[in-house]
Structure 1
Amino acid sequence: MVSQATMPRRGTEVNHKAKHVLIVGGGYVGLYTGLRLQRALRRELRSGSVQITIIDPQSYMTYQPFLPEAAAGNLSPRHVVTPLRRVLPRVRILNGKVTKVHHGARSVTFQPLVGPSQELEYDVIVMAAGSVSRTLPIPGLADAAIGFKSVGEAIALRNRVLGMLDRADATEDERVRRRALTFVVVGAGFAGVEALAELEDMARDAVRYYDSIEEKDLRWVLVEASDRILPEVGPEMGRWTLEELRERGIDVKMQTLLRSCEGGLVKLSDGDEFESATIVWTAGVKANPVVNAGDLPLDERGRVMTTAQLTVAGVTGAFAAGDVAGVPDVTNPGKYCAPNAQHAVRQAKVLAGNVVRHLSGRPLLTYRHKYAGSVAGLGLHKGVANVYGIKLHGLPAWFMHRTYHLSRVPTLNRKVRVMADWTLALFFKRETVSLGEIETPREEFRAAAATV
């Protein structure tokens, strides 16, 4: 068994007696927990009596509420991510996945991006692996659809939408045009509504540069299984959002299911059938599959069973928070905290403090939150908000949406860069260029080499 003590950071002295805190996941909870532990344990980290490791496939944290704006070209993709190594200089970052948790033995199986797996020991583990898209066994979904949880998906979707405009403009085949100019989003939560609204807004700007395409040629379809959209902002604001989307010509189908989408042929439960070259799946999330590969207890929804102190129920030396954890909502007995960024950031603050308290043998604190409300962007200068009971829509809500999320973006560096993007957008039109070739950068070279 290989101990983390055999893998020291550059410039640090190996200490085989160091307490090792292992954080699985570098998202909201992982990054913010690492930041707070780095500050609270700075003396211990300098002396080598404590070591902290974060394991994540990516070397950055993605601020997901800004993905719609990145997809629409309002923000640079690099400004919605935070490099872990830069902001966590005293934390060891390992890129790869945890494939199994052996908490009884205080170790995990770590699979790096390249090379054989390793067994890493720890004293305290923090499960912060987040969530993945919750999909259903729908024919054609895996081949025809794309998710909206990563910066890669957001930029690929942006390139896809703009690329479809190029495709439609270059052909006179009406079937090809209709298929290219029909865009479908499944799921009317925050991710689905914001992604659709921002991309529709961008596409409406872009068609001005195409002689053969008009706004009325674009078809946007939002498919939702329930009878409400944006339930997080309340029924009144949800109804206003529905009216706003329909006024923009978006076809919102409530209480409707996606039956199949094989080959891009969309079949809905209301009997509607049509072809689409762009299908986006945002119908919910589920805990990262790593929770199923180990000995930590799970709840009925497949999340790590967690206490109000953010410890894993029934064991010691294990903590969990965020989408991967079933955290009881002590302000609403019998309910659980929603899987969103607001809870993840707040939970990370309490979790980091409780890890420090655990290491020093002090009593742990309970995670208790006061609901602040919800905000959503619906394109440039359009939004909806319900904050502390104050309900807004249009420009004021859009401004509140941006202000709130700017305050939550980690590090001053990223706040300034985001502000710079927004400021430039006041004076210059956004770029509406598809760079789809970046997804297959070797195709042209491969074709040239094949002729030699």
Structure 2
Amino acid sequence: MPKILIVGGGYAGFYTAWKLEKQLRRGEADVTIVDPLPYMTYQPFLPEVAAGSIEGRHAVVAHRRHLKKTDVITARVTAINHAEKKATITPELGEPYEFDYDIVVVTGGAVSRTFPIPGIAENAIGLKTIEEAVAIRDRILGNFDRASTLPAGPERDRLLTVVVVGGGFAGIEVFAELRSFASALLQSYPQISFDDVHFHLIEAMGRIMPEVSLPTSHWVLKNLAERGALVHLDTQLKSAVDGRVELSTGESFESDLIIWTAGVMANPQIVRNSDLPVEERGRITVRTDLRVGDEDTIVADAWGAGDISAIKDLSGGGVGGFCVPNAQHAVRQGKLLAKNLVATLRGEEPKDYNHKNLGAVAGLGLGTGVFQSGKIAIKGLPAWVAHRGYHGLAMPSWERKIRVVTGWWNNIWLGRDIVGIEARETPRAVFEEFASRPKPPAPKAEDAPVAAPAEEKKPARKTPAKKAPVKKAAAAQNAPAQEAEAPGAGAAPEESYGGAAEGTDPKPVSSDK
């Protein structure tokens, strides 16, 4: 059987494997999928996960549960040598090893694209993974807890200031969802008022959400302003060192939560370590039939799809004539790739990928959304219903759909869960704090200091003892105690609290004083 290796288990990779299981005949091919995570993340739900509207585990799809006929390897593909049809697989534990394949499908996805702005790498967080979304939610809840115990001042303002960098769909959605989340939290924190919470979105261009019309984007800006959220257009982030945000306009403020959503790039770990053709923007060159290559050449037995690939958009849309990196294209490309791969195995011709964007829909917090399809724009509650309906149906598998929709239904009657678990990042801290530890071993006899031999003294001559007067002896008995002890000699230094300082030997106290 030909061995098919799928590199990456995101949208395109998961759907390729999922559809291959349904379309391949028994014994027709052996499929292996490799990804460092054991699940696919449904990224359109990340803003709602960050805002507590969806349980984090419900926004991911377990590979092993839904890919019954596929060999799942939880590891990284760190190199692809297609000339020899070998891939280097590097597990988290153990040594890297080579994997021989006959056909490779590269669907490694994308990662956050950042710029060398001081402080971003050390202080910001992205929004590409479920772990990031959950961490954002826990950080906001933890900051509300801490701020509620502080008086008004710079530290309190820092905890209650949220900054989002990037005004695309992902940035606007998480910005608006978090603003809605923070407003709902005020009911549980009477110590914090609406005006105490500050939200800033920074966008370098003169508008937000280029996927929708200009009037629709203006409506979103107005809606955010009415909710107390400030959008900085034509503004660049200059620095974020130690959480101090400095803008190109000269404004500056401090924030404990900086979220970066200003673009993505093809997974460099895969692109830079393969011999497959790469275009100028760092993506693998893929034809419209999803085979690797260009219009004139085809790289045999190599396929690509999703955000890691540069595929021409035959519908006439897209940026620069290529399909934009979003879920709509990745899912549909994965489905078509499976069909085309099976077709080539059976001697048939593959079909070109051609999908016209049906529109854009975004959730802006509970009960508020926006939908754009051509010149048709829907705003408010109807758009929010359309947003949830579309993504609820687009979530893979009925098992995941039921979990997500059930969570939404529960929130209607019970409200959002506002329990933050920041300590999950350091789960052993409490155990370590109170855990008993073995006492240090007692020093061995040979290690004890040897006392110097006493000098030989000549026997003193015996002299008759004189009796001290009774009055003087009584006075000596009642003398102040401090005269017998040097000042401060009985106070142990702070460093040696509980015993001698670590790494030092206790010194014997002389009784000659």
- TM range, normalised to the smaller chain? over 0.9
Establish whether residue 401 from structure 1 lines up as the match of residue 401 from structure 2: no
Aligned to 1:363: 349
SS at match of 1:233: coil
Aligned to 2:222: 243
AA aligned opposite 1:38: E
Establish whether residue 325 from structure 1 lines up as the match of residue 305 from structure 2: no
Q: Is the 8 A contact 1:322 1:347 kept in 2?
A: yes
Deviates more, 1:404-413 or 1:202-211: 202-211
AA aligned opposite 1:32: Y
1: CA distance, partners of 2:191 / 2:401:
40
Establish whether residue 379 from structure 1 lines up as the match of residue 359 from structure 2: no
Establish whether residue 336 from structure 1 lines up as the match of residue 316 from structure 2: no
Per-residue Cα deviation, 1:263-314 (whole angstroms, up to 9, x for no partner): 0111111111111111011100000011111101111110001111111104
Q: TM-score, normalised by structure 2?
A: 0.82
Q: Is the 8 A contact 1:371 1:388 kept in 2?
A: no
Deviation at 1:185? 0.4
1: CA distance, partners of 2:33 / 2:86:
14
Selected match of 2:409 from 423, 427, 452: 423
Q: Is the 8 A contact 1:21 1:122 kept in 2?
A: yes
AA aligned opposite 2:308: V
Deviation at 1:173? 5.6
Deviation at 1:390? 2.4
Aligned length, in residue pairs:
431
Selected match of 2:4 from 14, 21, 25: 21
1: CA distance, partners of 2:157 / 2:207:
28
Deviation at 1:187? 0.5
Unaligned runs of 5+ in 1: 1-17
Establish whether residue 91 from structure 1 lines up as the match of residue 70 from structure 2: yes
Aligned to 2:19: 36
Selected match of 2:400 from 414, 426, 444: 414
Selected match of 1:299 from 254, 266, 279: 279
Deviation at 1:210? 1.5
SS at match of 1:137: coil
Per-residue Cα deviation, 1:363-404 (whole angstroms, up to 9, x for no partner): 110001122000000000000001354210100000011111
Q: Is the 8 A contact 1:383 1:397 kept in 2?
A: yes
Selected match of 2:167 from 176, 179, 188: 188
Aligned to 2:233: 254
Selected match of 2:131 from 152, 172, 178: 152
SS at match of 1:372: coil
Per-residue Cα deviation, 1:320-354 (whole angstroms, up to 9, x for no partner): 11100001011218600010000111111211111
What RMSD, in angstroms, separates the aligned Cα atoms of the two structures? 1.3
1: CA distance, partners of 2:144 / 2:87:
47
Establish whether residue 126 from structure 1 lines up as the match of residue 105 from structure 2: yes
Q: Is the 8 A contact 1:373 1:389 kept in 2?
A: no
Task: List aligned pairs for 1:170-249, cutoff 5 A.
Answer: 170-172=149-151, 174-249=153-228
SS at match of 1:426: helix
Deviation at 1:209? 1.4
Look at both structures and tell me which one has the larger radius of gyration over its CA atoms.
Answer: 2
SS at match of 1:279: strand
Aligned to 2:494: none
Task: List aligned pairs for 1:72-87, cutoff 5 A.
Answer: 72-87=51-66
Deviation at 1:234? 2.3
Q: Is the 8 A contact 1:202 1:432 kept in 2?
A: no
Deviation at 1:412? 0.7
Deviation at 1:419? 1.2
AA aligned opposite 2:302: A
2: CA distance, partners of 1:238 / 1:318:
40
SS at match of 1:222: strand
Aligned to 1:312: 292
| Stretches of 4+ aligned residues off by more than 4 angstroms | none
1: CA distance, partners of 2:33 / 2:168:
30
Per-residue Cα deviation, 1:180-229 (whole angstroms, up to 9, x for no partner): 11110001111111111111111111122112201110000000011111
Deviation at 1:450? 7.2
AA aligned opposite 1:252: V
Q: TM-score, normalised by structure 1?
A: 0.93
1: CA distance, partners of 2:245 / 2:397:
43
2: CA distance, partners of 1:213 / 1:173:
10
Query: Could you say which structure has the higher helix fraction?
Result: 1
Selected match of 1:56 from 35, 44, 53: 35
SS at match of 2:68: coil
Unaligned runs of 5+ in 2: 439-513
Q: Is the 8 A contact 1:329 1:337 kept in 2?
A: yes
Per-residue Cα deviation, 1:85-117 (whole angstroms, up to 9, x for no partner): 111100011011111110111111110121100
SS at match of 2:175: helix
